[in-house]
Chains A and B, each alone.
Chain A
Amino acid sequence: MRVWLPTVLLAALLGGLSVGMSVLEPLFAWVQPDTSRVIYERESFAFLLYNHLMLVVVSAVIGTIAAVAGGIFATRPAGRDFLPLVSQIASIGQTFPPVAVLALAVPVLGFGEAPILLALILYGLLPILRNTLAGLEGIDPAVREAALGMGMSPLQVLLRVELPLAGKVILAGIRTSVTINIATAAIGSTIGARTLGDPVIAGLVNGNTAYVLQGAILIGLLALTADSLFEALERNWDRHSGRVRPPVFR
């Protein structure tokens, strides 16, 4: 249970602040003394948080499904021919800066949530794809050989052996993807998505540091909450597969 504690605490802080930011009004008034509007009120923080979260969750779910399916396809006998190209796409695609991808979505799809969602999905599936390939390719060939040779069907080999063994690496890919997408969704405010980036952008445009801080704090907390959630999931994974955690530095 202790592994979940940081996540719960951070989530509580995030939720609390997004509902009751006005508690900190004196603090922001001290930062930004020369204005009457100290707390961002164009949209409620709770709404912005919800919207931000939905963008990230939806893109993560779709991206994970697409990337894992693609990774599985490229490592099956039927799709092996595509493996070199798919892994090249996964690595070259990640050299594209996320902001640029986000910006390119606008000329193609216009302003609003749809281009952001598409950009988040496309960009977010690259690390998951790369890790799925790494995880599946990293399995000792003897394990697959033995599983098949003992009479498992290819589907049983995939579901009971390959995916459980690659799972931790795939999970790490999802973690990277979500971290990037939380940041990219925040920048999405500039192309018309309602996210926690809104107060930051509004504050920058109007020279209101208090707005900027409020948005920045919530974005930071959201990222930390998500990160600690994945940290806990990874630890849980280790415990369930019963392996001793090797000393990995991340």
Chain B
Amino acid sequence: MAKIDGTAAPRPTPNRVVPVLAAVALVLVWLLDLGTIQPNRIVPGTGHGLVSAVGWPGAGLVSLVLIASLAVSILPLAWRYWALLVLAGLSLALLPLLLEVFAARHLPPDSPYARSSVGAGFWCLLFLLSLMLIEILGRLKAGRGVQLLVMVVIGGSWLVLLRGAGLESLSLVREFNAQPDKFAQALRAHLALAFGAVAVSAGLAVMLALKMMRSPAWQRPILGAVSFMQTIPSLAVFGLLIAPLSALSSAFPVLQELGVRGIGWAPALLALIAYSLLPMVRNTFVALTEVPESLADAGRGMGMSERQLFFQLKVPLALPVIIEGVRITTIQAIGLTAVAALIGAGGFGGFIFQGLGQSAMDLVLLGALPTIALALVADALFTLLAASLRPVPATA
């Protein structure tokens, strides 16, 4: 079939996605509350719309940025995506300034308990700007370097702004400042559990995958067992582990001294490992068995031993797929660790469930947002790792 190379056309076609996102953002940011002011932690606050929150200059600036991105995206200019990248990237990086202006304008200066909260309008703006950024980076076919740079700039700017004095009144910051040690402890517990489970299951998965390669009769039972475990909901698994583990620990006092009980880190770790096995075993097995037999034959033909073949050919070729398994497993484990807080395993889930119990929404956010952030960071890191380990650089 005769294919005509579309890239030869110099006139870029207008983008339809960015205008839609910008228009939706414009409507929502004017309709919804940008933020709320609460007199204290529990009492529901009063909402402020865009103009009330940041005044006419602020509202004008926000609208101008959105209208500008809408306009730039439909202009047939060659460099428009770079312009949009700068526009959307800067807006995202400086977004917390809106909250700072809001707090400065509305927070009563004499009440130490009053706090400002983020409203639906702000969340929508954040969400739609992020989608815009994703779309722009995709259209630019931006390399890993550019993507990383954008992330670092935005993330760094947020960290600096959130730690600054201007946002001290933000409820989330208040919650964090009230218990920075507990936060650090939760972070440590969360990471220890999630990565502990991933590390143990990685070791087990390699052993199981090798067993399956050597004796194919084991493939069905092993894969059946690990996918069965994946089917059972996490809450049920945590629940089902309580009885046997408490029985064990009361029968063997040594275990009790180690901290193994029906609730706590022990059942959480066990359940997390069980869950992590499926993606790990499957990816490792598939990766190692899918190395083309013709390549292995070529290696054999040139005198490589089976051992050399395994370490010099199969492992390097399989590594990106195995890393992909580790990525899926890690994201899953980070999420499940949050659930494990229900059986007293600690971590960010503790804040979530404590906040839900006390109807303290900011505490819920203090647990939920870092959990999401951890998952996103893990996703980015492992994607980067897998890409850099790919033996042949992926062509654009």
> Do any CB atoms of chain A lie under 8 A from CB atoms of chain B in the complex?
yes
The chain A residues found within 8 Å of chain B, CB to CB, are 31, 81-82, 84-85, 88-89, 92, 95-100, 103-104, 106-108, 111, 179, 182-183, 186-187, 190-191, 197, 200-201, 203-204, 209, 212-213, 215-217, 219-220, 223-224, 227, 249-250
Q: B17 to A220, Cβ gap below 8 A?
A: no
Chain A residue with the shortest CB-CB distance to B374: A97
Q: A106 to B240, Cβ gap below 8 A?
A: no
- For A219, list chain B residues within 8 Å (CB): 232-233, 235-236, 239
- For A212, list chain B residues within 8 Å (CB): 239, 242-243
Cβ of A9 to closest chain B Cβ, rounded Å: 16
A111 to B342, CA, bound (A): 18
Contact of A85 among B138, B262, B356 (CB under 8 A): B138
0 or 1 for each of B324-357: is its CB under 8 Å from A? (1 = yes): 0000000100111011001100000100110110
Contact of B17 among A31, A82, A224, A250 (CB under 8 A): A82
Does B367 have its Cβ within 8 Å of any Cβ on chain A? yes
A212 to B371, CA, bound (A): 26
Cβ of B52 to closest chain A Cβ, rounded Å: 20
Q: B243 to A213, Cβ gap below 8 A?
A: yes
Contact of A183 among B233, B355, B379 (CB under 8 A): B233
A219 to B223, CA, bound (A): 22
Chain A residue with the shortest CB-CB distance to B219: A249
Chain A residue with the shortest CB-CB distance to B371: A100
Does B63 have its Cβ within 8 Å of any Cβ on chain A? no
Does B231 have its Cβ within 8 Å of any Cβ on chain A? yes
- For B338, list chain A residues within 8 Å (CB): 97, 99-100
10 contacts between A and B (CB under 8 A): A85-B17, A97-B375, A99-B349, A99-B368, A104-B365, A107-B365, A183-B234, A187-B235, A213-B243, A216-B236
Chain A residue with the shortest CB-CB distance to B343: A204
Q: A201 to B233, Cβ gap below 8 A?
A: no
Q: A85 to B243, Cβ gap below 8 A?
A: no
- For B230, list chain A residues within 8 Å (CB): 179
Does B38 have its Cβ within 8 Å of any Cβ on chain A? no
Q: A107-B364, A213-B239, A219-B235 are in contact. Are A96 and B372 (CB under 8 A)?
A: yes
Contact of A209 among B123, B242, B342 (CB under 8 A): B242
Q: A224 to B235, Cβ gap below 8 A?
A: no
Number of interface residues of B (CB under 8 A): 57
Chain A residue with the shortest CB-CB distance to B339: A99
Contact of A186 among B235, B242, B368, B376 (CB under 8 A): B235
Q: A250 to B352, Cβ gap below 8 A?
A: no
0 or 1 for each of B158-202: is its CB under 8 Å from A? (1 = yes): 000000000000000000000000000000000000000000000
Cβ of B88 to closest chain A Cβ, rounded Å: 13
Other 7 A-B pairs with CB < 8 A, given A81-B16, A182-B233, A215-B239: A31-B243, A88-B135, A92-B379, A95-B331, A97-B371, A219-B236, A223-B231
Cβ of A202 to closest chain B Cβ, rounded Å: 11
- For B361, list chain A residues within 8 Å (CB): 106-107
Does B227 have its Cβ within 8 Å of any Cβ on chain A? yes
A96 to B331, CA, bound (A): 8
A213 to B235, CA, bound (A): 11
Q: B240 to A99, Cβ gap below 8 A?
A: no
- For B237, list chain A residues within 8 Å (CB): 216, 220
Interface centre among A209, A212, A215 (most CB of B within 10 A): A212
- For A216, list chain B residues within 8 Å (CB): 235-240
Does B249 have its Cβ within 8 Å of any Cβ on chain A? no
Q: A250 to B227, Cβ gap below 8 A?
A: yes
Q: B343 to A223, Cβ gap below 8 A?
A: no
Does B304 have its Cβ within 8 Å of any Cβ on chain A? no
Q: B367 to A103, Cβ gap below 8 A?
A: yes
Cβ of A211 to closest chain B Cβ, rounded Å: 9
Chain B residue with the shortest CB-CB distance to A94: B331
Contact of A191 among B123, B335, B356 (CB under 8 A): B356
Q: A100-B338, A209-B243, A220-B240 are in contact. Are A190 and B233 (CB under 8 A)?
A: no
- For B376, list chain A residues within 8 Å (CB): 92, 95
0 or 1 for each of B204-239: is its CB under 8 Å from A? (1 = yes): 000000000000000100010001001111111111
A89 to B134, CA, bound (A): 9
